[in-house]
Amino acid sequence: MKELLEKILEENRHWTKKGKVATYIPALAKADPKILGITVIDIDGKAVTVGDCDTKFTLQSISKPLALMLALMDKGTDEVFSKVGMEPTGDPFNSIIKLETLRTGKPLNPMINAGAIATTALIEGQSGGEKIERLLEFVRLLAGNKDIRVNEEVYRSEQETGDRNRAMAYFMKDLGVLEADVDQILEVYFRQCAIEVTCSDIAHMARCLANKGNIAGKQIIPHEIVRLTNTFMVTCGMYNASGEFAIKVGIPAKSGVSGGIMALVPGKMGIGIIGPALNKIGNSIAGVHMLEDLSRALDLSIF
Ligand code: GLN
């Protein structure tokens, strides 16, 4: 496995020059576009790591499936899906247009920003601080890493500039999709996006999802919630490139604008990738190509 990953990483390194790091959150603009790393953890827990895997990065949209699972465990499917739908959008991740044209204002799915903000609002806790602490504990448990924290600089940077997310949240509040205080919901959402991890952390989380929610014999997440979340990752996880990704790679995956991708092969492995140079849609450009090659080499597509 190590040799295969080294070969795939070297063959795809050139893509990092063709992508651009995200700049709309100013703190993310500091990322080095040349960074590239991958960790694969098989179902028995054996990890193989290649490239820049010590690099820390923030979860950004990779936090969306995690917040979804916690909200589903807190509130159940009926309540969660009364506030957010189950359909792909075909629009960019930060699109606002369908919120108005659909009239209900109910976001189409929990993997786009509007849907993730509505999902985060459903996480239980007396205060914003308690909600983010519960999500952090959940992430630490899935990753098997007690030291995972929020990157305060990235959090502040998005808090200061995230006016499009703020606009969506106020709009959803007006329509009754959001019921709690908008500032508090956004504080939790911006903090969840700024949770700092490594490739190995997200590969561990993905391995739990590949293993039907089980870690070392303990059922951490009900299997039904894992099934639902993996399905969302297949249909919506790579934004408006999810269809092409399903054809070319064919596994559940979720990307974030920091350049991370969390992917998994059910029953087989968890995969974590970092490559901050992004393609036009906002997915790690070299990361997507590496997953294509890995899927082809090991025949990983679930379809
Ligand atoms: N924090 C980012 C935002 O809300 C997450 C988006 C992403 O990773 N695509 O815009």
> Which of 23, 63, 66, 93 is the best mutation target for the ligand 1 pocket, counting ligand atoms within 8 Å of the beta carbon and taking the most?
93
Q: Specify whether 191 is located in the same domain as 205.
A: no
Q: Specify whether 40 is located in the same domain as 116.
A: no
Q: Specify whether 201 is located in the same domain as 238.
A: yes
Is 259 close to ligand 1, i.e. is its CB under 6 Å away? no
Q: Which of 160, 179, 195 is the last residue of a domain?
A: 195
How many independent structural domains does the chain possess?
A: 2
CATH of the domain at 292: 3.40.710.10
Residue 102, pLDDT score:
72
Catalytic-residue membership of 254: no
Domain that holds residue 162: 61-195
Residue 71, pLDDT score:
98
Residue of 48, 239, 265, 284 marked active site:
239
Q: Specify whether 186 is located in the same domain as 201.
A: no
| Residue 64 Cα to ligand 1 middle (Å) | 9
Catalytic-residue membership of 189: yes
Residue 163, in any domain of the structure: yes
Bridge partners for 50 per DSSP: 38
Is 58 close to ligand 1, i.e. is its CB under 6 Å away? no
What is the distance of C-alpha 129 from the center of its chain?
21
Is 257 close to ligand 1, i.e. is its CB under 6 Å away? yes
Q: Which helix (H) or strand (E) holds 296?
A: helix 285-298
Q: Specify whether 201 is located in the same domain as 52.
A: yes
What is the distance of C-alpha 44 from the center of its chain?
23
Residue 227, in any domain of the structure: yes
Low-confidence residues of the chain: pLDDT under 50: none
Residue 235, pLDDT score:
96
Residue 6, in any domain of the structure: yes
Q: Specify whether 172 is located in the same domain as 219.
A: no
Residue 80, pLDDT score:
97
What 8-state DSSP symbol labels residue 284? B
Q: Specify whether 69 is located in the same domain as 186.
A: yes
**Predicted structure pTM score:** 0.96
Residue 185, in any domain of the structure: yes
What 8-state DSSP symbol labels residue 84? S
Q: Specify whether 136 is located in the same domain as 236.
A: no
Q: Specify whether 156 is located in the same domain as 280.
A: no
pLDDT digits (tens, 9 = 90+) for 166-211: 999 999 999 999 999 999 999 999 999 999 999 999 999 999 999 9
> Which of 113, 117, 161 is the best mutation target for the ligand 1 pocket, counting ligand atoms within 8 Å of the beta carbon and taking the most?
113
The count of other CB atoms within 10 Å of the CB of residue 298 is: 14
Catalytic-residue membership of 40: no
Is 155 close to ligand 1, i.e. is its CB under 6 Å away? no
In order of 31, 159, 272, the CA distances from 302 in angstroms are 33, 38, 18
Residue of 40, 48, 50, 61 marked active site:
61
Residue 303, in any domain of the structure: no
| Residue 109 Cα to ligand 1 middle (Å) | 15
Residue 302, in any domain of the structure: no
Residue 158, in any domain of the structure: yes
Q: Specify whether 47 is located in the same domain as 6.
A: yes
Q: Specify whether 136 is located in the same domain as 86.
A: yes
Catalytic-residue membership of 239: yes
Q: Which of 170, 195, 220 is the last residue of a domain?
A: 195
> Which of 21, 23, 24, 25 is the best mutation target for the ligand 1 pocket, counting ligand atoms within 8 Å of the beta carbon and taking the most?
25
Residue 92, pLDDT score:
74
Catalytic-residue membership of 284: no
Q: Specify whether 70 is located in the same domain as 50.
A: no
| Residue 216 Cα to ligand 1 middle (Å) | 32
Task: Fill in the amino acid letter for 297.
Answer: A
Q: Which of 128, 160, 195 is the last residue of a domain?
A: 195
Least Cα distance to 199 among 66, 36, 12, 69 occurs for 36
Residue 241, in any domain of the structure: yes
Question: Of all protein residues, whose CA lies closest to atom 2 belonging to ligand 1?
Answer: 60
Is 93 close to ligand 1, i.e. is its CB under 6 Å away? yes
Residue of 21, 48, 50, 64 marked active site:
64
Residue 103, pLDDT score:
66
Is 113 close to ligand 1, i.e. is its CB under 6 Å away? yes
| Residue 234 near residue 225, CB atoms below 8 Å | no
